[in-house]
């Protein structure tokens, strides 16, 4: 089983790219050469698939990331967000009011 490695790779992707791993996947599809370089540079630790999210403190500061795997990409995303919120922390979506200046990215634009 490589479930841990997949979940770790999703969390790593979210932290490394400053956005959810679902958006990292979109970036990989948009710019495959760029992503191939990043994958190599990271020692193949980035896993660009939905389920990895940044964890933010109440003030919006990024304090870590979580990766979830084992179900559909959408369900993994839901469970990651649920876990973050269950312990009283925030997701990028919860901090959308901070905007790009706070490093919140909900799209690749």
| Domains of the chain and CATH, by start | 3-101 (3.30.450.150)
The structure tokens listed for 53 are: 């999210």
Of 80, 58, 62, 84, whose CA–CA distance to 71 is shortest? 80
Dist. CA 100–CA 30, nearest whole Å: 20
Per-residue pLDDT of the chain (109 residues; tens, 9 = 90+): 799 999 999 999 999 999 999 999 999 999 999 999 999 999 999 999 999 999 999 999 999 999 999 999 999 999 999 999 999 999 999 998 876 655 666 665 5
SS3 43: coil
């Amino acid at each position: 089983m490589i479930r841990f490695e997949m979940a770790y790779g999703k969390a790593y992707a979210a932290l490394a790219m400053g956005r959810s791993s679902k958006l990292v996947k979109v970036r990989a599809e948009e710019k495959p050469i760029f992503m191939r370089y990043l994958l190599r540079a990271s020692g193949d630790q980035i896993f660009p698939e939905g389920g990895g999210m940044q964890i933010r403190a109440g003030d919006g500061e990024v304090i870590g990331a979580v990766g979830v795997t084992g179900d559909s990409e959408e369900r993994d995303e839901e469970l990651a967000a649920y876990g973050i919120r269950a312990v009283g922390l925030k997701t990028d979506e919860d901090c959308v009011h901070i905007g790009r200046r706070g490093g919140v990215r909900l799209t690749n634009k």
